[in-house]
Structure 1
Amino acid sequence: MAGVGLSVGAVARRLGVPPSTLRTWGRRYGIGPSRHSAGGHRRYDDADVARLELMNRLILDGVPPEEAARSALATETGTLPPAIPSLAGSAKGRGGHRLTVPDATPATRALARAALAMDTPTMRDLIGGALRRDGAERAWQELLAPVLIGIGDRHAATGAIIEVEHVLSGCIQDALAAEAAAQAAETPPLTARPVLLACAPEEQHSLPLYALGAALAGERISVRVLGARVPARALGESMRRLGPAAVFVWSQTSWTGDPAPLAELPGSRPPARLIIGGPGWEDGRLPASAHRVGSLPAALAEVRAALGRA
């Protein structure tokens, strides 16, 4: 490494992480640049970069950042691993092989690498490109859900990368909501009665709602996404106000899947089709009128049937 060392931007490109992440590591864990340029700017020397690369490798292997920084700082300079030649741009080669994605493809590997590096611009580009190219249903089935499953499995096994799941989920939700809004603005809905999408009370995993909402908007179906943690009373009031053709309720976890509030939802003329999705529901106690679905295509089929568009 020549002269006065590398800037934060150059080191960020080598590691495949945002510059803001390096600054946070420096402030929070004391693992930052140790040199200065002639103009007083802080610069990273070889040992600084090697420590950061070691820390980054440990994080990608599931070690919490604080512990990874402590290990990197405690490692003697002479025993630090050799510097990686270059990792320009996104996090190429940095963790894609460490995340098991079901039926991995080049697209899922690219999104997994960007997610593990918390590379928000690349994640947004990949997700937005897939939605525009393939539509919401295919993008969810073939790209977004597999990567989310891989990250969820890794977290369940190690307790790590919850921050990765949060950042990726935020990017996906923003992209799906934007896609639904763009579809509705470009081609107004053909249906008079909307479809309501809501999470069960206390359920916070709302991404499936946004995926279904974007897919329905692409089919010119009017939709209202009520989001996470929707009380039964609020859902009932929405049904009375909007007279929906169908109501989809999602439960991800067993402690949110109490079916009792579903039986108390108001009736309507013509009746709204009740569709429920997610692994949290107790099958034996579901209302007789409920249509249970296990996938996005199945949910779309039920909505089409409710609208007479099967």
Structure 2
Amino acid sequence: MVDEALTAGAAARRLGVAVTTLRTWHQRYGLGPSQHSPGQHRRYTAEDMDRLEVMRRLTARGVTPAEAASWARQGVVPMDAAARSAQNRAAPSAPDRAAPSAQGHAVPSAPDRAAPSAQGHAVPSAQGHAAPSAPDRTVPSAQGRAVPTGAVPTDAQAPRRGGGPTVANARAGPAARGVARAAARLDAASVRDLLEANVADHGVVATWHEVIVPVLVGIGERYAATQRFIEVEHVVSRCVTEVLGAVPRPSPGAPARILLAAADEEQHTLPLEALAAALAEQGVPCRSLGARVPQRALDEAVARTGPTAVVLWSQQRQTAAPGQLRGLLDAPHRPLLVAAAGPGWDRAAMPEGVPVLDSLPEAVAAVTAAADPARHRIDLRWC
């Protein structure tokens, strides 16, 4: 609640929107300041701010401004399901559409190379393949790693005049735009709420490709253009980890036949967290060893738990050591599936019998099959 009436500038700062946005909401939808004293500008009362907060929350979820304003004038927030329903109506529904990049462009697939996001995580395309990097056309990301610039118009990287910081443009999906707006305000609660709603409605894989990936790419590209948004990147990454970790896991008594790990010295694990959450949705329990797993620790974990599938993630070339994979193949009780994932792996250096999983859906399918090959009736000899 607001204790005293606010100027337009103060109200905009409180809400995390631009003053021009408040003016638009006032002129188009009647959501303006109501307190007026002779000789002074109108000011926003507590009741005005309550209505504007409803407007902000619903537009962040992809609800059209006109519909959000209708709810705001009533002074109530519709049920989450209603808001998500409006978001779904606004989003394209074709199941095989290309997932937009941060600037709305379809991301081309390239099975053996990936452009890292601002955190250095691999950014898959609509099909889940890694997007190609362009060694001669890159700029540093927020962590000093490279992100491609070729598909992004220069003017799209600049802040909108009067519109404040943004990390996704209007051609991104409504859910991604909502997360991007909340992230730019450092509104972690709203970022989590939006991601949780999207996971509940569409699942982990769709949320990863259509929401998380475009936002991470957008943050990296905005950093490249402005040298800003490191704090935004940290908020989003933390929220993504929390939301993926909150996806319900199978019961504790279920045997975990899957082992996920990052290669020795590899610090980036967000894609592995997405895989673990996607497997959980399928009822497949797994163990995740996290970042920087040395060879000896990985070998001991395999010997101790006897997994049927091991997925080793490498984001960067310098962390992709084929020797770790060979060690798994030479284990006394070799896992049924030993797979590499991530853009760091060199296909030409892969030990025989080790596939490179190019996409999140492909990884889910292969790992699920390895967890219960009799049920899935899939021949894993190609692995």
TM-score range for the pair, normalised by the shorter chain length: 0.5 to 0.7
Indicate whether 1:99 and 2:100 are aligned.
no
> Offset at 1:299?
0.6
| C-alpha spacing 1:14/1:132, structure 2 compared with 1 (3 Å) | closer
Indicate whether 1:135 and 2:203 are aligned.
yes
> Offset at 1:209?
0.9
The alignment partner of 2:260 has SS state of strand
Residue 118 of structure 1, aligned match among 173, 186, 190: 186
Indicate whether 1:306 and 2:306 are aligned.
no
The count of corresponding residues between Structure 1 and Structure 2 is 228
Cα distance in 2 between the residues matched to 1:163 and 1:259: 35
Q: Which residue is equivalent to 1:184? A: 250
> Offset at 1:167?
1.3
Residue 278 of structure 2, aligned match among 215, 223, 234: 215
TM (norm. structure 1) is 0.65
| CA distances 1:226-249 after superposition (whole Å, capped 9, x unpaired) | 111111211111111111111111
Cα distance in 1 between the residues matched to 2:224 and 2:291: 22
| C-alpha spacing 1:151/1:246, structure 2 compared with 1 (3 Å) | same
> Offset at 1:11?
6.0
Name the aligned partner's letter for residue 14 of structure 2.
Answer: R
Name the aligned partner's letter for residue 233 of structure 1.
Answer: R
| CA distances 1:166-217 after superposition (whole Å, capped 9, x unpaired) | 21011001111111xx2324x964xx45211111111111111111001111
The alignment partner of 1:205 has SS state of coil
Indicate whether 1:225 and 2:288 are aligned.
yes
> Offset at 1:147?
1.4
Cα distance in 2 between the residues matched to 1:254 and 1:154: 25
Name the aligned partner's letter for residue 242 of structure 1.
Answer: T
Residue 359 of structure 2, aligned match among 292, 295, 304: 295
Cα distance in 2 between the residues matched to 1:273 and 1:236: 15
Indicate whether 1:273 and 2:337 are aligned.
yes
Q: Is the 8 A contact 1:198 1:248 kept in 2?
A: yes
The alignment partner of 2:288 has SS state of strand
TM (norm. structure 2) is 0.54
Give the unaligned 5+ runs of structure 2.
Answer: 19-141, 143-161, 379-383
Indicate whether 1:200 and 2:266 are aligned.
no
Q: Is the 8 A contact 1:250 1:278 kept in 2?
A: yes
Q: Is the 8 A contact 1:193 1:243 kept in 2?
A: no
Q: Which residue is equivalent to 2:216? A: 148
Indicate whether 1:13 and 2:40 are aligned.
no
Name the aligned partner's letter for residue 210 of structure 1.
Answer: E
| C-alpha spacing 1:11/1:146, structure 2 compared with 1 (3 Å) | closer
Cα distance in 2 between the residues matched to 1:305 and 1:154: 39
| CA distances 1:72-116 after superposition (whole Å, capped 9, x unpaired) | xxxxxxxxxxxx8xxxxxxxx5434x5359x61111111111112
Indicate whether 1:240 and 2:308 are aligned.
no
Structure 1 runs of 4+ aligned residues shifted over 6 Å read: 3-6
Q: Is the 8 A contact 1:258 1:282 kept in 2?
A: no
User: 5 Å matches for 1:75-94?
Assistant: 94=164
Name the aligned partner's letter for residue 184 of structure 1.
Answer: P
Cα distance in 2 between the residues matched to 1:157 and 1:258: 33
> Offset at 1:270?
6.0
Q: Is the 8 A contact 2:310 2:335 kept in 1?
A: no
> Offset at 1:155?
3.0
Q: Is the 8 A contact 2:299 2:331 kept in 1?
A: no
Cα distance in 2 between the residues matched to 1:4 and 1:139: 39
Name the aligned partner's letter for residue 107 of structure 1.
Answer: A
Q: Comparing both structures, which one devotes a greater share of its residues to helix? A: 1
What root-mean-square deviation, in Å, do the aligned CA atoms of Structure 1 and Structure 2 show?
A: 2.9
Q: Is the 8 A contact 1:204 1:228 kept in 2?
A: yes
Q: Is the 8 A contact 1:193 1:245 kept in 2?
A: no
